[in-house]
Structure 1
Amino acid sequence: MSLLPTTSRVLHNLARFPSQMPDFELATWQLFNLCVAPRKVYRQVYYHKQTKNTWARDDPAVLMILTSTLCLAGILWGFDYSLGPLGTLRTVLVMVLRDCLLLGIVSATALWFISNSLLQAPASIHTTDQRVEWAYALDVHTNGFFPAMLELYFVQLLFKPVLVRHNWICLLLGNGLYLVAFGQYWYVTYLGYNALPFLQRTELLLFPVLVLVAFFMVSLLGFNCPRHFLSLYFGSI
């Protein structure tokens, strides 16, 4: 699945840390632009392929920043809900291992399979047979997850007292936040696969956005997303 070579390079770079520092400057630039101008990030993909012979990242800096940010989010939510040390640690582990890693593996595997099975351009268009690397699919998930994580784990925490109120304006704002977060995830994901020159019909990956918009419209009848999801996540609001 083209996973092991890229994974071994990432682990090799981690093993050499701090003797060879990960490129945090580039990682910070990428993560910032994923939030404000994600197309800029994917313009580098082809250049990276030509210089490193892989579509996927071989530097662990993005993963390190993402993990650190998730740990901070877990600590802040633990403090907000007065979970105590063990409860806060559990929240951190859930955010890192389940929300990011496990869901990332599921999403990457599903889209890796779909893109290689259904979205490949005819062989006559490209002189060499190319396939989506599984590690690249995981990178795409990471790219989409980061801005969504900032909105759901930090913006939602900051405005939680307002978003969970029982009035229609707060319902609109709270559900709109979820629409933007999940919509941004799928848009950034679409851009990631659209950047690969050997794929076609990648606009099909935007279909979940239509489902999200439909759900958002129905939810305005009275389903408050922040209240329901926080209740499921923490047992209370």
Structure 2
Amino acid sequence: MKYSTSPPISRCNSPVPIETGSNLPMPVTYRQDCMGAATKCYKYLRKLLKFEQMDFEFALWQMIFLFISPQKVYRNFQSRKQTKSQFARDDPAFLVLLMCCLCISSIGFTIVLGLGFLQFVKLLFYMIFIDYLVAGLIVATVFWIITNRYLRIDKTQDVEWGYAFDIHLNAFFPPLVILHIVQLFFYNGLINYDTFSSRFVGNTIWLIAVSYYIYITFLGYTSMEILHKTHIILSTLPIILLIYIMTLCAGINISYLVMEFYHYRVV
């Protein structure tokens, strides 16, 4: 009696659809993608408690290159897709380092605005949970829906929500450093005045930060071959430039207004 020596077909990636003769969903073992989004999310969140498994050195490398050459960062995402079948990060080290940067910036805001300890705690809460996590979840979800519904040319694949969130984190980091760290050194001495030069410096800093965010977001979605017309993201730059000119002409200091907003919501 002869036995087949060919390897068994994996149930996770079976090339032939299996007829079950039932309207019920197929068992997990018969699904095309056994490692679904929920499983990936669970594994990602579980790693948040295991600092020894995080590659902080590589995450720091990514942060540096997001300033000087963000294209190299997205080449790494493409390599991950080839080796691990997913664009999204599977290491939360970048997320943790961003939170550390927010803690540092909160200390800077506390000093510049002259806040107390309880106000610092409130500010830190707002920055991490509202400005960072909640806003990030909303922005990533909006881009995820738009790209999958309107920009996708390969209907057999889709944009991972985790990758959309990673793009937001990448694009968020340079503005975070520019607005929450660098700007603080010049705020009281140069920006916090009702003069044209103060408005020019403050609004220009915001223009640079927002432009960074848009450009890095554009690079993130352009790196996906299943998407087209991603240049639409860059079409927002002329609008941002127009708003910048209008605020200068109208005598609006964006940096001052934002700092006052932060001060107002914690006092």
Whether TM exceeds 0.5 here: the answer is: yes
Aligned to 1:205: 233
Corresponding residue for 2:160?
133
- Given the alignment of the two structures, is residue 12 of structure 1 paired with residue 46 of structure 2, yes or no? yes
User: CA-to-partner distance for each residue in 1:31-81, whole Å, 9 max, x for gaps?
Assistant: 111112111101112110111111100001000100011011112211222
Partners of 1:152 and 1:217 lie apart in 2 by 19
Q: CA deviation at 1:122?
A: 5.0
1:224 aligns with 2:258: no
In the alignment, what sits opposite 2:183?
Answer: 156
Matched, 1:171 2:194: no
Task: Tell me the CA shift for residue 13 of structure 1.
Answer: 2.2
In structure 2, C-alpha distance between the alignment counterparts of 1:217 and 1:41, rounded to whole Å: 32
Aligned residue among 76, 99, 103 for 1:67? 99
Looking at structure 2, the residues matched to 6 and 206 of structure 1 have their Cα atoms a distance apart, in angstroms, of 31
Q: Using CA pairs under 8 Å that are at least 6 residues apart, name the structure with larger relative contact order, 1 or 2.
A: 1
Q: In structure 2, how many angstroms separate the alpha carbons of the residues matched to 1:233 and 1:122?
A: 43
Map of 1:79-158 to 2, 5 A cutoff? 79-121=111-153, 129-158=156-185
Aligned residue type for 2:114: S
> Which range moved further: 37-46 or 77-86?
77-86
* Structure 1 unmatched runs, 5+: 124-128
Letter in 1 for 2:212: Q
Contact 1:6 1:57 in 2 (8 A): no
Stretches of structure 2 that go unaligned for 5 or more consecutive residues are 1-35
User: Which residue of structure 1 aligns with residue 6 of structure 2?
Assistant: none
Query: Which residue identity lines up with residue 77 of structure 2 in the other structure?
Result: V
DSSP 3-state at the match of 1:43: helix
Whether the aligned pair in 1 keeps the contact of 2:123 and 2:262 (CA below 8 Å) is: no
Residue 168 of structure 1 and its aligned partner are, at CA, apart by: 1.4
Q: Deviations over 1:161-190 (max 9, x none)?
A: 201222212211110100111111111011
1:169 counterpart letter in structure 2: S
- Distance in 1 (CA, whole Å) between partners of 2:195 and 2:179 is 20
- Summarize the Cα distance change of 1:17–1:232 in structure 2 as closer, same or farther, 3 Å threshold: closer
1:225 shift after superposition: 0.8
Deviation at 1:235, TM superposition (A): 2.9
Q: Deviations over 1:79-105 (max 9, x none)?
A: 222321110011111111111111101
* Cross-structure match for 1:34: 66
Counterparts of 1:39 and 1:194 in 2: how far apart (Å)?
Answer: 10
Q: Kindly indicate whether the alpha-carbon contact (under 8 Å) linking 1:75 and 1:88 is maintained by their aligned counterparts in 2.
A: yes
Which structure is larger by alpha-carbon Rg, 1 or 2?
Answer: 2
State how far apart, in whole Å, the 2-side matches of 1:5 and 1:192 are: 24
**1: distance between equivalents of 2:91 and 2:154?**
32
- Residue of structure 2 equivalent to 1:126: none
Q: How big is the alpha-carbon RMSD for the aligned residues of Structure 1 and Structure 2?
A: 1.5
> Identity across aligned pairs (percent)?
34
Query: 73-82 or 41-50: which moved more?
Result: 73-82
